[in-house]
Amino acid sequence: MFQSFAVTARPEQGPPRLAALRSQMTQDGLDGFLIPRADAHQGEYVAPRDERLAWLTGFTGSAGFCAALSDIAGVFIDGRYRTQVKAQVAEEFTPVPWPETSLSAWLKEQLPSGGKVGLDPWLHAAGQVSSLKKELNASGIELVRCDNLVDRVWPDQPEAPSNPVKAHPIEFAGETATSKIARLADDLKQNGCEAAIISLPDSIMWLLNIRGSDIGYNPVAHGFAILHANGRVDLFMAAQKLAGLDDHLGDHVQVHDPQVFLEAVAGLVGKVQVDLGTLPQAVADVLSDKMMDAGDPCALPKARKNPAEIAGSAEAHLRDAVAVIETLCWLDAQAAGTVAETQVVTQLEENRSRDNALQDISFDTIAGTGPNGAIMHYRVTEETDSRLENGHLLVLDSGGQYLDGTTDITRTIAIGEVGDQEKACFTRVLKGMIDMSMLRWPAGLAGRDIECIARAPLWAAGQDFNHGVGHGVGAYLSVHEGPQRLSKVSHVPLEPGMILSNEPGYYREGAFGIRIENLVVVQDAPALPTADTERAMLNWRTLTYVPIDRRLIVVDMLTTEERAWLNAYHRDVAEKVRPRLGDDAQLWLDAATAPI
């Protein structure tokens, strides 16, 4: 099994750690301290050294934060983690539904007479701090920049990662770093900026055609970069990480010690493009009025995959499908009650590892059976490992990091005889996934404009789910990539080349969970022979080719068009993947892709 990079804590460890933190707060004259799940680069995933939230509270979700006050410690979690947090934190921590309850409103309620709340300026984005400060205006609550109090009381805190960086081959990147730098430098000039700060590791990796391993499952390296309008890049990264890359980086990239980053920022002249949503407050304090909030210059170019990146992703998905199908074939041969979640995870990861292009899995494999499937981001542990019993649904969400692409796929699988209620819910989720897959929409629309398509069948039954319909995916980069999303809050227009997930779900706490996920890429929609087209239209090209469990489908609930789509999809699965499979898996696939 691949190594998990997460820091974990048992619930009983939280109270003494919280007490130690509160002692430091008192020592510094603070009434509170904010602990985000973040590092200085504001990415979704963090290294073990930066897992302060998990170490303190026990909560291991990929988003959230803690506001520790002298008499209450709120753990703010979104809808994905409402079930998970209950099992992971001690009663000394109070789960707070977020964003329904804002941090500012909660602080005003808990500190009605005002107070001083500390924060580490490297771990909070400038935009976040500015918004919070405005929301707290006239409350008497003061935000105080300070060093990190958790670091003071974490005796065995891991060291910062310092793993080697490698060049990303041009046949997979599809464009040289020199070309990327030149066109982004031209964009800076047009925006009237002399430089741009790049703090997101995946943006630096994309821009310079390099990959690292400082973060578990994500091929990125920690560092900062300054892109100049004259086509020069200053890269602030430990030199030992970059050994042997002088020729690859070339004369246009100059490497500096990370310790001089703020000094270099202070010396910038003219307007500097930044993304206030990710720029650390510590850097914003140095830049002051030089900042122009125009976003990360790499974000949209990185999201618009070029033909080489799309071709690589498509091929990676076909190889990945072999591993998933071989696993599903194996699973169907096991009797209900004889296999545990950890065995499924191990089997799938072993099957993936047979591919020499695999560099890592793309996140901790989720294999949640029965009630565990209702925990959206469930991670099996020794304590929670459960057997797949008759009547269970198994949610299997996994992915791989291949040299030519990143995969992410979820299938929900019937274990033995499943109830009618589970089948009806599964079919509604399937309808939403199919309806989104078939969608054509006018160019210029964002994820928030179309994501309801995948929810509509559930809404019709008075049901819904508490996560987005889809997230962006990188090209051998982060499995969760912005700015593109299929989400109620996403205003970024979808453009050709963007890869996203299409993953509606349904979760009944204490009973079962359902999720069906394919990756799809935005493309220009072909003209319809009978249509009088007035606007440019977009549609999806599916990248994922693995059967959907026919045993869970209530066929009469599907429309004629949905049934036709599913049959065509399964024909494509058989055509594209069957020749790559062993004899047993071929026979299994023949049955799994039979028309309905």
Strands 253-256 and 233-236: parallel
How many whole angstroms separate alpha carbon 457 and alpha carbon 155?
51
Q: Select from 3.40.350.10, 3.40.720.10, 1.10.3720.10, 3.40.190.10 the CATH code of 166-302.
A: 3.40.350.10
Contact indicator for 447, 492 with CB cutoff of 8 Å: yes
What confidence category does residue 218 fall into, taking pLDDT thresholds of 50, 70 and 90?
A: very high
Amino acid identity at 371: P
Bigger pLDDT: 225 or 82? Answer: 225
Contact indicator for 341, 388 with CB cutoff of 8 Å: yes
Share of the chain above pLDDT 70, in %: 99
What confidence category does residue 284 fall into, taking pLDDT thresholds of 50, 70 and 90?
A: very high
Q: Residue 60 corresponds to which tokens in the numbers above?
A: 């291991």
What is the per-residue pLDDT for 474? 98
In sequence order, the 6+-apart residues with CB closer than 8 A to the CB of 335 are: none
What confidence category does residue 551 fall into, taking pLDDT thresholds of 50, 70 and 90?
A: very high
What confidence category does residue 103 fall into, taking pLDDT thresholds of 50, 70 and 90?
A: very high
How many whole angstroms separate alpha carbon 155 and alpha carbon 23?
15
Answer whether residue 303 shows pLDDT above 90. yes
Contact indicator for 125, 291 with CB cutoff of 8 Å: no
How many whole angstroms separate alpha carbon 522 and alpha carbon 497?
5
**What average pLDDT does the chain have?**
95
Answer whether residue 3 shows pLDDT above 60. no
Amino acid identity at 368: G
pTM, entire model:
0.93
What confidence category does residue 531 fall into, taking pLDDT thresholds of 50, 70 and 90?
A: low
Segment 15-38 mean pLDDT: 96
Answer whether residue 9 shows pLDDT above 80. no
Same fold, 11-153 and 166-302: yes
What is the per-residue pLDDT for 4? 52
Q: What angle do CA 296, 301, 306 make, to 5 degrees?
A: 160
Instruction: Supply the CATH classification number for the domain 11-153.
Output: 3.40.350.10
Amino acid identity at 310: I
How many whole angstroms separate alpha carbon 498 and alpha carbon 506?
26
How many whole angstroms separate alpha carbon 61 and alpha carbon 48?
14
Strands 73-77 and 65-69: antiparallel
Query: pLDDT tens digits, residue range 489-516?
Result: 999 999 999 999 999 999 999 999 999 9
Phi, psi of 118 (to 5 degrees): -85, 155
How many whole angstroms separate alpha carbon 389 and alpha carbon 338?
8
Q: By C-alpha distance, which of 375, 351, 402, 396 is closest to 516? A: 396
Q: Residue 411 corresponds to which tokens in the numbers above?
A: 């299938």
Query: pLDDT tens digits, residue range 442-451?
Result: 999 999 999 9
Segment 99-103 mean pLDDT: 94
Which residue is it, tokens 């990360």?
Answer: 296
**Could you give the residue ranges of the DSSP H alpha helices within 438-501?**
447-450, 452-459
What confidence category does residue 5 fall into, taking pLDDT thresholds of 50, 70 and 90?
A: low
What is the per-residue pLDDT for 187? 96
Q: By C-alpha distance, which of 361, 358, 366, 364 is closest to 319? A: 358
Q: Which CATH class is domain 304-592?
A: alpha beta
Query: pLDDT tens digits, residue range 314-323?
Result: 999 999 999 9
In sequence order, the 6+-apart residues with CB closer than 8 A to the CB of 377 are: 61, 62, 80, 81, 84, 366
- Domain residues of the chain, as ranges? 11-153, 166-302, 304-592
Query: pLDDT tens digits, residue range 27-77?
Result: 999 999 999 999 999 877 899 999 999 999 999 888 899 999 999 999 999
Contact indicator for 203, 298 with CB cutoff of 8 Å: yes
What is the per-residue pLDDT for 62? 80
What is the per-residue pLDDT for 2? 54
